[in-house]
Structure 1
Amino acid sequence: MSTDSQKESGAPAASPGPAPTRDLSGGCGDDLERQCCREPDQKLLGTHGGVLGTHGVGDPATNFSCDSPFLSCRGRVIKWFWDSAEEGYRTYCMDKYDEDQNPSGIINLGVSENKLCFDLLQSRLTQSDMLRVEPALLQYADWRGHLFLREEVARFLSLYCKSRTALRPENVVVLNGCASLFSALATVLCEAGEAFLIPTPYYGAITQHIYLNSHVRLAYVHLDSEVTGSDARPFQLTVEKLEVALQGVISEGVTVKGLILINPQNPLGDIYSPGELQEYLEFAKRHELHVVMDEVYMLSVFDEALGYRSVLSLERLPDPQRTHVMWSTSKDFGLSGLRFGVLYTENQDVATAVASLCRYYGLSGMAQHQMAQLLRDHDWISQVYLPENHTRLKAAHTYISDELRALGIPFLSRGAGLFIWVNLRKYLPQATFEEEELLWHRFLDGKVLLSSGKAFQCKEPGWFRIVFADKAHRLRLGMQRFRQVLEGRPPFRT
């Protein structure tokens, strides 16, 4: 959790090593095979997620040992990502908390899923209009998605993104989640070795999504918690920071093709104002960069005073042919298991290229029917689901916030998303990522899964993300264990 976009283990990343400047802009992936089929050069080792250089550009293939005689070099890279990034989630899956069957199991406050509204979803998804079987749903369809679904997506986005003009179904492509969208966009927009700019901290799984199939890298725009003025906020993104990062990456010989923005932001919960969005889009236009807007949390803004605006609501897009918007039902509707995501782009070349990849990233006709029925039910969404979901999110957020205040723990208080970004630096004997990793493991030993700041490539050790979109009894137990770990008590036992 995308960030989506799919499961987030919260496992900390490896520590960075020395990073040479080298040209990564050319070639079509041969460097991957050359690097991974030899013992890794310690001088080339970078951080988890395959980042080298001052600005975070590098090759994940240099960061692991080839330990399987059965896999291709590419397969070994993929396995390495799983082994290094999924530790927390794998541990949780083997020992999930269940109130009756496994009360001593792990409470999951690390994976960004909305578990608050199953009752509402069960009621809606089991109604008779959701089940339909006909030949067209069991046969191949337009790879962009069935027209009836794309029409409903266009109407849905027009309404809930508050677009100034009606959005068009021909600009919609339907895929099985935002993870696939990131992978597809990286493949069709970039050559191997090229990069996207991305502000840190960010949803760390994006690294895998854009690298594993296309060998595209991320170039970091490092943000920090320092507040430099009365109108500033922690981890604030500015055009000046974007410019500095872009020039730094170019100076390392890397071609930058785009900018990834998450709004509302994961893990910060920040919302970009219309003015900020316009500035970022103008920056991208000046440098002929694509902008990939991840708006997967757009309906999870539970503080109405924040005034969230989708990029599709702006009066004018500076470069509509290079602006691509993604959304899914995974977060806003708590339907991550259904694997549904959409791309909206006015660039028909991009739409067609991504649609071609839907041979691998598509979803079944029956699932498309279900999604169309759900998205067309504007009365249920606006009058039943969204108000109740926002009420429950706000209550859960308030509970976790009160608990953190009682412990004297600083955190960013936002009204969007499913998570809170908390500063646990005072619990680190030394302000290092090694100490952060030890604390993350102590939480896991204490039967509570969190996500560490390093998993989001935060430049400051000690930050963690806590997901609050869960039932009250699990939140209470999770925070009890959280407190026990911080107080140095033994790991939780029944």
Structure 2
Amino acid sequence: MTRHGEPPSEQPSATAEEQALIPGSGGGGAAMRLIVPLQGIVQGHGGGGLVLGSLLPCVLFYAFQMFLKRSRSPPLNPPADGPENRGVVRSSSRRRLPARDAAVSARAALIAKSGDSAYAVGEKRCLEDPYHPFDNPDGVMQLGLAENRLSLDLIDDWLSKNWKDTMLHQRQGGALNIKGLATYQPFDGSLEFKTAIAGLMGQVMQGSVSFDPSCIVLTSGATPAIEILSFCLADTGNAFLVPSPYHPGYDRNIRWRAGIELIPVPCRSTDNFNISVASLERAYTQAKNRSVKVCGILFSNPSNPVGNLLRTETLLDIIDFATEKNIHVIADETFAGSIHGNEEFVSMAEVLNTDGVDRTRVHIVYSLSKVFSIPGFRVGIVYSFNECVLAAASRLSRFSSISAPIQHLLISMLTDVKFIADYLKMNRERLRIMYALLVSSLMELGVQCVKSTGGFYCWMDMSKFMKSYSEKGEFELWKVMLDSAKIHITSGTTCHCIEPGWFRLCFTTLTRNDVPLLMERLKGVIHRQ
């Protein structure tokens, strides 16, 4: 350390050759031990020794470096010199990472697995090998899907006569110009379409009740209508009470995205599968004991799959029970326009006009898919007097809105009063004839059915043909019908029926000429059992 004011003493700097010979500065320590003695010899006398003493160490050092470089082993994996390997060098450790599938959400995983259900298996078989009386007479007969093909020709006739005028020509005031078809429309449905729907619903109920267009929210089918109501009435983890057997589609409509639990409320054959307040009370109490919050009751009227109707007294009892428990009621009246029996259908909308009924807790679902044989048009209806539900449902409908061209087309059809009246009358008659034909044919085989008044189904009892009275026995019988007889029907277990051996058979996908073939296939199953 220097004293204050004195310049630091100068130290002689090492030459480049000396720095190269310092141990640890590139591996030249061994060379230094050889070079230093030689340097002393050549620097003995004369100026020539100085020159040799400066050059000779450098020559020897560089010669030794070349020797070491040539003796060094080559790298095991020399990098390729291609253009794809230029730039960022990837770590070799990435090659050792295990191959793993990218994880999806628990919701997606659950929905993906649902395709393994018996109903889905049957639907897949129908798509792969569909029955046709001429093109594929040995194919799988579709008796599980709720499609009304009996009256599709009536809709086809009307469309063939009217669709061009409806879609391409302007009406009075220009409502059907390109602006009205191609631009954004209200997501919850145009007021004109809501008015037409309200008129239709009143016509289906034969004038017993009128419907207010301002209480309607339109969706792309009954499925999103029910799902939207589920979002509005309950939170994830809450539950609805559902009288069983019930439509198997409820499981996906309500559970998949809304995450709401469905609690089956068992109904038995001894009561013609009718719901009772006592069974509702038991199911509600059991859910409460499990700390599950029940937020509503969901039921179909006419019943899917049984086909029976709920009377006015039963509907009032359900409302009273819901009022007592402070929960909601969802009445699925999708099949209200498909009555084929002699009993009178009573809509929940009519019951709501009774004095003292809290209309804000009751919500109705309707659809055009069944009554008009047009499920591909995707038109569902939420009808409610609850302002909060209507506001939320209107906003949620943006995810399931009906296209503007479909709305305009159906406005023309629904406002054709004569056509609607003729269609409803003829469709009802066709349903009655086909149902009676199928039930009588099944009775000849010894298969009994519950008396049905509405809907597309025969709810038939095949328990005596099972090898064991159990869910397993029912599944084995269902599998024989699908694999051997090539008949796709819905098992009672899929509908959460508490009694094994019941099956739902959709008769509206058949023609009169298909019935003998169906009976022949069923006879083969019965004899095999």
Matched, 1:373 2:407: no
Which residues in structure 2 correspond to 1:274-313 (within 5 Å)? 274-303=312-341, 305-313=342-350
What residue in structure 2 maps to residue 342 of structure 1?
Answer: 381
2:525 is paired with a residue of what secondary structure?
helix
The residue that corresponds to 1:42 in the other structure is: none
Could you say which residue in structure 1 is the equivalent of 2:113? 80
Deviations 1:216-235 (A, max 9, x none): 11012111112xxxxxx321
Larger % of helix: which? Answer: 2
Secondary structure at 1:131's aligned position in 2?
helix
More deviation in 244-253 or 79-88? 79-88
Aligned residue for 1:271, secondary structure, equals coil
Tell me the percent identity.
28
Runs of 4+ deviating beyond 6 Å: none
Q: TM-score, normalised by structure 1?
A: 0.81
1:126 to 121, 145, 160: 160
Tell me the CA shift for residue 165 of structure 1.
6.0
Cα drift, residue 188 of structure 1: 1.7
Q: Aligned residue for 1:186?
A: 230
Instruction: Tell me the alpha carbon deviations over residues 437-473 of structure 1, each in whole angstroms, 9 at most, x when there is no partner.
Output: 1111111111111110011000111000111112112
Q: Could you tell me whether the CA contact under 8 Å between 1:109 and 1:478 is conserved in 2?
A: no
Provide the residue aligned with 1:488 in structure 2. 528
1:279-335 Cα deviation digits (max 9, x unpaired): 1111111111111110011111112x3011111122327221111111111111111
Q: 2:399 corresponds to which letter in structure 1?
A: Y
Between the aligned partners of 1:107 and 1:165, the Cα distance in structure 2 is 39
Question: Displacement, 1:71?
Answer: 3.1
Change (3 A) 1:311 1:68: farther
2: CA distance, partners of 1:257 / 1:68: 38
Q: 1:163 to 1:392 in 2, by over 3 A?
A: closer
The structure, 1 or 2, with the larger RCO (C-alpha pairs under 8 Å, 6+ apart) is: 1
Equivalent pair of 2:463/2:469 in contact (CA under 8 Å) = yes
- Residues 1:332 and 2:376 are matched in the alignment: no
Alpha-carbon spacing, 1:208–1:76, altered in 2? closer, same or farther (3 Å)? same
Cα gap change, 1:102 to 1:68, in 2 (>3 Å): farther
**Match status 1:447 vs 2:486:** yes
User: How do 1:143-158 residues align onto structure 2 when only pairs under 5 Å count?
Assistant: 143-158=187-202
CA contact (8 A) 2:187 2:402 kept: no
* Structure 2 Cα separation of the partners of residues 102 and 144 of structure 1: 42
Structure 2 residues not aligned, in runs of 5+: 1-99, 169-176
Instruction: Map 1:401-420 onto structure 2 (within 5 A).
Output: 401-420=439-458
Pick one of 460, 468, 479 that aligns with 2:519: 479
Residue 240 of structure 1 corresponds to which residue in structure 2? 278
Aligned mates of 1:261, 1:294 — CA distance in 2:
6
Q: Is the 8 A contact 1:224 1:459 kept in 2?
A: yes
- CA shift in 2, pair 1:167/1:106, >3 Å: same
Question: Offset at 1:374?
Answer: 2.2
In 2, Cα distance between equivalents of 1:74 and 1:165: 41
Quote the offset at 1:163 in angstroms.
6.3
Q: How far did 1:346 drift? A: 1.0
Q: Which amino acid aligns with 2:380?
A: G
Letter in 2 for 1:475: V
Q: Secondary structure at the match of 2:528?
A: coil
Encode CA deviations 1:137-178: one digit per residue, 9 max, x unaligned.
212211211111011112222332356664221111110111
The answer to whether the Cα contact below 8 Å between 1:424 and 1:464 also exists between their aligned partners in 2 is yes
Amino acid at match of 1:80: K
Question: How far did residue 425 of structure 1 move?
Answer: 0.6
CA deviation after TM superposition for structure 1 residue 408, in Å: 1.6
Gaps of at least 5 residues in structure 1 are 1-66, 227-232, 490-494
Partner-residue secondary structure (3-state), 1:422:
strand
Alpha-carbon offset, residue 252 of structure 1 = 0.9
Write the letter of the residue equivalent to 1:483: K
Alignment of 1:418-433 (within 5 A): 418-433=456-471
CA distance, structure 2, for counterparts of residue 336 and residue 147 of structure 1: 22
Pick closer, same or farther for the CA change 1:439–1:153 going to 2, 3 Å: same
Name the aligned partner's letter for residue 258 of structure 2: S
Tell me which structure has the larger Cα radius of gyration: 2
The letter for the 2-side match of 1:210 is: I
* Alignment-derived partner of residue 39 in structure 1: none
Q: Compute the RMSD of aligned alpha carbons.
A: 1.8
* Aligned counterparts of 1:206 and 1:265: Cα–Cα separation in 2: 13
Q: Is the 8 A contact 1:453 1:464 kept in 2?
A: yes
Contact 2:107 2:257 in 1 (8 A): no
Q: Secondary structure at the match of 1:313?
A: helix
Q: Contact between 2:141 and 2:487, CA under 8 Å: does it hold in 1?
A: yes
1:218 equivalent in alignment to 2:262: yes
Give the match for residue 169 of structure 1. 213
Secondary structure of the structure 2 residue equivalent to 1:435: helix
Question: C-alpha distance in 2, partners of 1:221/1:120?
Answer: 39
Inter-CA distance 346–409: structure 2 relative to 1 (3 Å threshold): same
Q: Secondary structure at the match of 2:114?
A: helix
Distance (Å, rounded) in 1 between the aligned partners of 2:154 and 2:146: 19
| Residue identity matched to 2:116 | D
How far apart are 1:70 and its partner, in Å?
5.5
Amino acid at match of 2:232: V
Is the partner of 2:357 in helix, strand or coil?
Answer: coil
Aligned to 1:107: 141
**Which residue number corresponds to residue 431 of structure 2?**
393
User: In structure 1, how many angstroms separate the alpha carbons of the residues matched to 2:471 and 2:240?
Assistant: 25
SS in 1 for 2:503: strand
Q: Counterpart amino acid of 1:471? A: T
Q: 1:68 Cα deviation (Å)? A: 6.9
1:356-378, Cα deviation, whole Å (9 max, x unpaired) = 12221111000111222222222
**Residue 137 of structure 1: aligned partner:** 181
Query: 2:396: which partner in 1?
Result: 357
Question: Partner of 1:96 in structure 2?
Answer: 130
> Equivalent residue of 1:184, what SS?
helix
Displacement of 1:255 in angstroms is 0.3
